[in-house]
Structure 1
Amino acid sequence: MIKLSLALLLFAFASFAQGSKSDSVFKKQIEEYNTSFANAFIKGNQGDLVKAYTDETIFMPEHSRQRVGSKTILDFYKQWLSQAKITTYERKILDLQDFGNYVLEIGTFVETLNLNGQNPFSYVGKYALLWKKPSNRSLPPTIAAEIWGSSSYFDDKNIPDIDDTAILKIKEYIPTDKLTLEVKERNNTIKNLVQNRQGAEHAKMFMTDAMYLTYYTPILSGEKEITDYFTEHEKPGTLSIEKISILTSEIIYARTAIIEFGFYSVDWRDRDNHGNVKGKSMNVWKKNNDGALLLFRQIVNHD
């Protein structure tokens, strides 16, 4: 876990307004990385795919479990490329937020892949990359975390089947400091709102200029889109949530935001149908002008 000193932390939260936009130099570095990654992905150059990851990178692929570290991330890409031929891959940056020592990149991607000789599949989605700025500006930035998900529902038979049996299960991070305890309290509030089907109230947990990247949905931006989504998605009806857990696995204190990594499990029932859904998220918390801790960016996908 990466922590700020108390003095720096107090300073950060005293100025917890929106982060400034990332400068053009950093944006150019990210664009160059995205182009390099796309070329390596298409050509199958596995070493080049993981050059920006570190031993601490948190990697959250869709329909697969969370991995930590470049070694396990390389294993993911080896499995992916052993099953699929990538013919096209492109990322488009939509939003960059500078949190001082970290930069959050949000965008869309299009990947055309051919799985074991099947017809080509167009995997279209959105992604988020949390970049860690180097202390030495002559060095390239590294990826602290990555997560992505499709913009519409799809059958996962169209993408590689990743073997996660060797991946360690996520462990809950037990908070001891006041700010992390506050995050935990906010998650407990969200859990109760989801279980009680109070979608409009759930939407109030987001800042008015928030972005929400959830499963099988395009990016939702701003108060209206997020409120409309939750009001419909969590409306009262025949579907009930029998059990739900929302837990934290890691916290990064950036200078102007808290980045939380979480995992969830939901037991649901709709008349005779029932099931369990597990997933993970990257949550960017900030304080508004009234001092309330709210979600500024949230990215969610299913395991």
Structure 2
Amino acid sequence: MIRTILPLLLATVLACKEQPNNQSTEVIDLRATIASLNNQLIAAAKARDFAQVDNLYLNNAILLAEYNPLIAGKQDIEKYYTEMFKRQEVTDYQKETTELFDFGENILEIGDFKKSFNNAQQQEGKYFNVWQMSDAGTLHLKSESFGYYHPIDSPAALRVYLPEKMLTPRKTSLELEAYHALNENCVRDRDTEKLLTSYTNDAIYYPFADTKKAGIEVLTEHFTAYHAPPVKIDSIEIETFDFIPADDGIIQYSQFFVKWTVPGFSGTTEGTGQIYLKRQADNSLKMHRQLGMHVHNE
């Protein structure tokens, strides 16, 4: 009997030991697959040929490119890249995935990139990609968002003027609108303390033309400085264009419009943003990852 039991116990122990390795392999395969797809995007940029990656984008994909309004649909995304490829001669392009959030049907990839050109300023920046898993097990871009870690000398060179069309929100959510109202009040009132309650303790914010701000302490320093005088917010409007339900929250795409005043001068700022809001134990939503960008207008 002992001789019979021992092999069974040994087999059970080995099976238990192998299980974590199988799980790790799944994660590594997902990272490897996304890395391969990113290499295709890099190759297309170097070749200046969108046709090489046309099959990676869903027809209703969304693009949030720094200095540009929100771009919706693969046809307009192709127009954007076709124009940018005419302007930019890429000599080196590197992408590195820093985080993956696997929600099953959708995967949020966050990463860093570096680009060098023959004819333009070198770029270092951040990106949020949402990949959608098909029934066949292939990944396609549901959305692509990117901004820069530094100011750009000539933002006009990165602005593509597509034929104007009215973008109507694809989805609306009363819950998200309530959070918009809260954040609008916080920004208008320059209320750092209340705004910080909208973030998780380990949140990471990627602001416009700046490095990432990780953790509530760093966010406190950032928003305290950001809300300091003499800027006065006259009005602010945030609207949701689309959102994707996730296992533990929501991925949201938004546009914002701000009117502001400083002594002797006033102006407007327009921008876009992508936020991963994470559901909390009390069922509330808090911002866990956030990317903010501005639109350049002549």
Q: Which residue of 2 aligns with 1:79?
A: 83
Q: Which residue of 1 aligns with 2:124?
A: 124
Q: Which structure's CA Rg is the greater one?
A: 2
Q: Which residue of 1 aligns with 2:13?
A: none
Give, in angstroms, the shift of residue 110 of structure 1: 0.8
Q: What is the rounded CA distance, in whole Å, between the counterparts of 1:169 and 1:234 in structure 2?
A: 32
Q: What is the rounded CA distance, in whole Å, between the counterparts of 1:50 and 1:273 in structure 2?
A: 45
Query: Is the contact made by 1:267 and 1:277 (CA closer than 8 Å) also made in structure 2?
Result: yes
Q: How does 1:159-170 map to 2 (within 5 A)?
A: 159-164=157-162, 166-170=163-167
Q: Structure 1 residues 247 and 157, CA, compared in 2 at 3 Å: closer, same or farther?
A: closer
TM-score by length of 2: 0.86
The partner residue of 1:92 within 90, 96, 99 is 96
Q: Which residue of 2 aligns with 1:211?
A: 204
Q: Which residue of 2 aligns with 1:64?
A: 68
Q: What is the rounded CA distance, in whole Å, between the counterparts of 2:206 and 2:31 in structure 1?
A: 21
The partner residue of 1:288 within 265, 274, 280 is 280
Query: Is the contact made by 2:202 and 2:288 (CA closer than 8 Å) also made in structure 1?
Result: yes
Give, in angstroms, the shift of residue 255 of structure 1: 2.8
Q: Is 1:256 aligned to residue 248 of structure 2?
A: yes
Query: Is the contact made by 1:60 and 1:66 (CA closer than 8 Å) also made in structure 2?
Result: yes
Q: Which residue of 2 aligns with 1:3?
A: none
Give, in angstroms, the shift of residue 232 of structure 1: 1.4
- Residue-by-residue CA offset, 1:132-156 (whole Å, 9 max, x unaligned): 112222xx20111111111112223
Q: Which residue of 2 aligns with 1:271?
A: 263
| Deviates most, 188-197 or 204-213 | 204-213
Give, in angstroms, the shift of residue 252 of structure 1: 1.4
Give, in angstroms, the shift of residue 201 of structure 1: 2.1
Q: How does 1:9-158 map to 2 (within 5 A)?
A: 23-115=27-119, 120-137=120-137, 140-157=138-155
| Code of the aligned partner of 1:126 | K
Q: Which residue of 1 aligns with 2:290?
A: 298
Q: Structure 1 residues 102 and 268, CA, compared in 2 at 3 Å: closer, same or farther?
A: same
Larger RCO: 1 or 2 (CA < 8 Å, sep 6+): 1
Q: Structure 1 residues 240 and 144, CA, compared in 2 at 3 Å: closer, same or farther?
A: same
The number of equivalent residue pairs is 272
Give, in angstroms, the shift of residue 73 of structure 1: 0.8
Q: How does 1:187-226 map to 2 (within 5 A)?
A: 187-226=180-219
Give, in angstroms, the shift of residue 173 of structure 1: 5.6
Q: What is the SS of the residue equivalent to 1:96? A: strand
Q: What is the SS of the residue equivalent to 2:134? A: coil
Q: What is the rounded CA distance, in whole Å, between the counterparts of 1:170 and 1:220 in structure 2?
A: 31
| Code of the aligned partner of 1:259 | I
Q: What is the SS of the residue equivalent to 2:104? A: coil
Q: Structure 1 residues 167 and 49, CA, compared in 2 at 3 Å: closer, same or farther?
A: farther
Query: Is the contact made by 2:67 and 2:158 (CA closer than 8 Å) also made in structure 1?
Result: no
| Code of the aligned partner of 1:270 | V
- Residue-by-residue CA offset, 1:242-298 (whole Å, 9 max, x unaligned): 111011111211233211111100001110122111011112112212322111111
TM-score by length of 1: 0.84
Query: What is the aligned-residue RMSD (CA, Å)?
Result: 1.9
| Structure 2 unmatched ranges of 5 or more | 1-22
Q: What is the SS of the residue equivalent to 1:159? A: helix
Q: What is the rounded CA distance, in whole Å, between the counterparts of 1:227 and 1:57 in structure 2?
A: 34
Question: Between the two proteins, what is the percent identity of the paired residues?
Answer: 21
Q: What is the SS of the residue equivalent to 1:129? A: strand
- Residue-by-residue CA offset, 1:33-52 (whole Å, 9 max, x unaligned): 11121122112122113331
Give, in angstroms, the shift of residue 169 of structure 1: 3.3
Q: What is the SS of the residue equivalent to 2:42? A: helix
Q: Quick check: which one's helix share is greater? A: 2
Q: What is the SS of the residue equivalent to 2:55? A: coil
